[in-house]
Structure 1
Amino acid sequence: MSLRHELERLLGKFGQDSQILEDSVLIGCSEQQEAWFALDLGLNSSSSINASLQKAEMETALQGSFIKLTKALFELNVKDASLLSTAQALLRWHDTHQFCSRSGQPTKKNVSGSKRVCPSNNIIYYPQVAPVVITLVSDGTRCLLVRQSSFPKGMYSALAGFCDIGESLEETVRREIAEEVGLEVDRLHYSASQHWPFPNSTLMIACHATVKPGQTELQVNLKELEAAAWFSRDEVATVLRRNNLSNQQQSGAIPFWLPPKLAIAHQLIKEWVEKPTCSPLPA
């Protein structure tokens, strides 16, 4: 039996129309050049009773279980997490771009899902990502960590913000740091980047920044942040060494915890702890 026939059989067993296979999108390929596609079964849009029944049937038949996407991303290896991130972002884009912004007519997905086309005027729409700068600020001996109300309890991370139209990355870094904590950037340098599917498809651009000497007093914008504080290298290094952060945080063993290893914020913080003498460029 071919893979497509097997998928159609499973979909039929779960009360799904096999036509939804046409909505699948290409997310990569194996080392053997086998194409990998992703498909949204639409369970979240179904009634709660039907969705629960279908999920239970699928979990039994496929010997697995559904978990939240955010949790899944941090439990998978880097390669699988990247595929899942790509699938979520691409499927969401197709779901929210089904009509042409010029004609109002339905758009059509190509076979791979790399674009959508309006048949009435041939306008082509491509998936887009929003650039977000995430910056770890340091005064030389300490780093600045912040938390938003949407963060899991006890978690602190680096500052982050979307790039405005017309801004360079450097301008975004300076503006975000000034707006959120009232600090002036002295020097900054680029570290790395990462695709991130939340809240929508974004390109996280990671940077390190140092602030003006003697100008480290924080003016926290409480409309943007819940808290912000300076932490020493020893404090941060201690938290990085913890293995079971969530359990220890709940028991009061540590005052805060950091984003998981897969998140680029974690890599920024780890980089700062391990390479305190990196050579930045003028902002």
Structure 2
Amino acid sequence: MSLYYGIACRRKSFWCYRLLSTYVAKTRYLFELKEDDDACKIAQHTGAFYLFHSLAPLLQKSEHQYLAPQHSLLELERLLGKFGQDTQRIEDSVLIGCSEQHEAWFALDLGLSSPSSINASLQKSEIETELKGSFMELRKVLFELNVKDASLLSTAWALLRWHDAHQFCSRSGQPTKKNMAGSKRVCPSNKIIYYPQIHVNLRELEAAAWFSLDEVAAALRRKGPYIRQQDETFPFWLPPKLAIAHQLIKEWVEKHSRSSLPA
């Protein structure tokens, strides 16, 4: 019995060490890409791009859910060339993560204007026809995506939105310049550095009304990560308990539960 217990403990320790080692390696790689423009540009050649148009991600409908297609740098360059766009537009992309094999993931919005881009935004309908997909509002389809796509697209949406709102320095009024990864913006005139800060608007969460308060509360009480609506159209997943999003959802439910109690 003690031998079996020892083997089980060693296997668990090895698994935990391997998981931690993978996490550390990914974190170091992402930090390198955020700080080194040359390394980030090299990573784009072997990485994958998720496309947006005016903050709406490009999605393709599968049998039971929506999928976010990935595009290589070569495919993206061909797309831009077909619509008469300069490939310099790719520099407007932002780094949103990487795989365990260090394949970097980027997001690029083809519908937002940028001081660094000499091209106008591409026509939404033309891109949808070319790529056989649809640009859809993320809020409306978030729970019809798998967990990976939902997380990546949410991160991409927040970063793209932040960069779109911080194209000019608040002190000098001059255009700010984004680094290759999109981890910061710098004002060339006074060297002020702006870092992305994602703020959660609680009013937007309350107004979204994706699910009823009872459904969200029921999902929080469940031990498993999924709960289905009554019509069983698609699953409702919750972020991990240690995630900030999970705590925000929990606070929102508790806030409304307390306000509904009789005085």
Please give the TM-score of this superposition, normalised by the length of structure 2: 0.50
Greater per-residue helix proportion? 2
Q: Whose Rg is larger? A: 1
Please give the TM-score of this superposition, normalised by the length of structure 1: 0.47
